Structure 1
Amino acid sequence: MRGYPGRFDPLIYYGKLRLNQTIITKRLTPIKVDRGSRSATATLPRIQPRIIGATYLMIALLADIGGTKSQLALMNEQGAFIHRRTVLNHEHPSFDALVDQFLHTQPPPQCAILAVAGPVDDGIRCRMTNLNWLIDGVALQQRLQLKFVNLLNDLQATAWSMTDPGVQSRLGMLRGSGLNFEQPVVVISPGTGLGQACIQPHQDQYVIQGTEGGHKTIAPFNRLSAELILQHWQQYDYPPSWENWFSGSGFSRLFQTMFPGAPVPDNATMGQQAISDPDSSSARCMELFTQAIYAEAGNLVLQYLAWGGVIVAGGIPPKLGKLFCQPEHIAYIERKNEYLDRLSAVPVALCQEADAPLTGAATYCKQRWHESS
């Protein structure tokens, strides 16, 4: 039977635990181990306290690596952050340099979970989309002698955060009395891009299905969107994607398509005008944006049979909260030819957790550590 998980991997000798050359006698507590149809009784040390001086039995390196800034944290085995910092990426020549500076005066981690703003290859490697960094999990694991390293797309990490009961309790319900995580729940996250994911229940855990669904071709969801798509085809020989128009990076394209020749306000100004002046061009643009997000959310519900609900996340919805709360916009979820009754009953929640990717990395880390121990 394996010892208690951790970099310092305690050696169990006659009920004693060796840590940093110190022998600490521990009372052994019987536990039951379920192995399918069989069960066995084994003994593991009940470790109290889990911290000996400045030594932790498990430390995880967590990170949310964005295009311009990154959040890094060290988490102990009890799920508490013992060190945390936000840094600007341009101040570091590489991701490795950033990590080395962060860990310079800290205890060494035993594992790492990294949420990254870019496509992840095989869960271990990412070429950042808006940053000339290659994050190589294999190289990081070897260099820091880590037990495991996993990379998550930042939207996958956001979805993982939604499985945390604390985060769930802070979701703002826009429709319905609550989400049902015993059924699939979809997350749609308009920020710089348009992230999409599905939270799938599996036995007593969750499986997060990450996607690049924001790059799907737009399907018209009302007359105006159909006219704009037709207008687009008159200028280009390829269709627009949802993210091309309905994301932070797509605001200017959407505005130019709706109001050709008009000066394009920056994103912040557009959002402010949309809230303060309902008759402005910005308001009309943001109204279509909100309708599009809910229309695509309805598509995701049908695609994943996500009757458990929809979570609207990302940096944009909280800033346009008034628009995202309007029932006539939420109703675009069920603006379909079929399944109207079922779609209209799907609960909808708004996530305003600014640290959702980092929280999700922590949540995933706990499950990953449990599986590897």
Structure 2
Amino acid sequence: MSFHAPLIIDIAGTTLSKVDRERLKSPLVGGLILFARNWVDRAQLTALCRDIRRVRKDLLICVDHEGGRVQRFKTDGFTHLPPMRALGEMWMGTQAGTTAAKKAGPMDATNAATACGYVLGAELRACGVDLSFTPVLDLDYGESGVIGDRAFARDPRVASLLAKSLMQGLLQSGMANCGKHFPGHGFVKADSHTEVPVDKRSLTAILADDAAPYRWLSHSLTSVMPAHVIYPKVDSRPAGFSSRWLNDILRGQLGFTGAIFSDDLSMEGARRIDGAVVSYTDAAVAALNAGCDLVLLCNQSVGKGEPVDELIDGLTEAQVKGRWNASEASEQRRRALLPTSPAPDWDTLMVQPAYMQAMDWVL
């Protein structure tokens, strides 16, 4: 039987409980995602990540840390990173002279994006975090409240080049990346956290615009997270539960070879498949069978965390019954997201020339 640890779960507090340790020891758990409730200060975060490593060295420690309003750690020295729209606005500014103090225009914007990626990745890695779910590749149509200023720009070319620059900075810090939300969440107004958004455009229109960054960045992206959005002219299921979107289009047409994460299975957009309300286990099985390598279940460890235990037990049973088969290729893609180089500690990072230079470019 192939080994495959597809579950990314969370924990309730700022330290690992006995129950947390047992869950993280499950062979089906491949990592965890941290939230603001798991943060007190850098010393606590570093100790927590170190403790997680003691449970299992191969666990992938993740966080949503994009900049702007989606940044989990904002105090005790963490740099307040700008929303990605600020980089898009810099791109649109009049090109500054090479000796000017003002930073504006496309070339300055790409340099600033690389600096933001480096600072973002380096600060997280100094505390023991492996991966941030960034960059956002959704386009800014001005309609989506949940995306809003998280997007770089409306133009897919601008969004792609700024995202590639940000990813270059992440790479310099030793961190992988995650493009989201494939094939695009920016066009629909509805928020998939609370609703099931529907985008009625044709596949041709989506591929020409929203999904274009995924083709252009197919050799740079190390992971992708699909949207909990239904595109009825392509498939009746949300993209994260659709083999058409994930295998035929993302991997087949667009040439992506990295890891695919489901978005949070507790979001409303993931709770209904083919019109029926489904359990977390059924949602996880559907996502994995559609082509996801990893599935996230967020914010369900609070309280006694029964949903987390139900998912671990349910996926174990589903595997035994043959409803889902472990994938060695998926496991290799998960492990490829783990950093391969040691990270400097915080005090060392603060005086590194590359870090100080990058800070001059962070907006």
TM over 0.5: no
Structure with more of its chain in helix, by fraction: 2
Specify which structure has the bigger relative contact order, considering alpha-carbon pairs within 8 angstroms and separated by 6 or more residues.
Answer: 2
What is the TM-score with the length of structure 1 in the denominator? 0.25
What is the TM-score with the length of structure 2 in the denominator? 0.25
